[in-house]
Amino acid sequence: MLSILLGALSPLLMLFLCISFGFLLNKLKLMPESTATVLSKCEKYLFMPALGYATFSKYCTVSTISKNANILMYSVIAIFVAMIIAIPLSIAFEKHDLNKRNIYKYALVFANHGFMGNAIVPLVLGGQEHLYKYLLFTLPLHFLTYIWGINILTPKELRSGNTLTNLINAPLIGMALGIVVGLTGVQKYMPEFVINTMDSLGSCMGPVAMVLTGFVIGSYSFKSLLAQKKVYIVTALRLVIIPIIILTILTLCGANKYVVTLALFAYATPLGLNTVVFPAAYGGDTKTGASMAMISHVLCTITIPVIYGLLKLI
């Protein structure tokens, strides 16, 4: 049990150290205020697309898709369960302010399955082949994030009439190109320097994402972030209760332990930064999202290894 816990804890501590570096860069004023904007754009337009492309171009074939089709089915089941839990609970957390209620709703449905999940899976499970299967599992989550999640974080009066336009974004385009290259077999004709470049850019995604997280958290005072009492309940739901419910239901639905493990890394990761970035863009509440991000990123270094260790023992 101890070796399992340490195996899961080590990569999390590495990422947490990156968060600490980002936090210190902000607090010590070693980087300009625009750093968060620059890093987030690098993530969105360069590192995440490169990671998706590199992974799918190598492992996405007709054979692997047919073998792993059940992963997508279980992912949809997990999403359905998360939404059933999140929607009524968000109303209980915030009855009057719709925009704030939507922050809680988003936080309860979506963990940091992109930045954090993509970084943890290769480190804990070992290798890009596992990352490919994880990306397959989270593909429906990505679609839901851009079709519904980002929409609810945007004030009603500012929402776009056609939410499908949100799907035209760099990370999904990167994955789509990788799928095409993988299915057609074009990868074997690619120059080696192109493959190595995409691999190198993709490997930057995890550390840079964590530095960005720490930098954003560093913009707030600890005291103000720790004073948000509801956040502790949401964090417990996000890191422990909702993941356990989802893992239990997937197991009852016939999912094997490997698929359940993928679900763990998709739903037991901490809250991401969308609940900070999008409200900030429209002058909304950012303190709630920043508080959840800080507290959940700290506590996940305990909760993820423990749940992962228990799952390995069952």
pLDDT score recorded for residue 7: 62
CA distance 188 to 194: 11
Q: Positive or negative CA dihedral for 91, 218, 170, 270?
A: negative
pLDDT score recorded for residue 78: 97
pLDDT score recorded for residue 8: 63
H-type alpha helices, the chain: 2-27, 35-42, 48-59, 62-67, 69-93, 98-109, 115-121, 128-144, 150-153, 170-184, 192-203, 205-217, 222-226, 229-236, 242-252, 257-267, 274-281, 287-313
pLDDT in tens, 208-259: 888 888 888 888 777 777 777 788 999 999 999 999 999 999 999 999 999 9
Q: What is the CATH number of the domain that holds 68?
A: 1.20.1530.20
pLDDT score recorded for residue 6: 60
Exposure of 222 in the CB half-sphere (CA atoms within 13 A)? 3
pLDDT score recorded for residue 83: 95
Q: Which amino acid is at 240?
A: V
pLDDT score recorded for residue 162: 61
159-173 residues labelled b (16+ CB within 10 A) or e (exposed): eeeeeeebeebbbbe
**Structural domain for 270, as ranges:** 2-26+35-313
pLDDT score recorded for residue 11: 73
Residues of the chain with pLDDT under 70: 1-8, 156-167, 277-278, 280-285
Count of domains forming the chain:
1
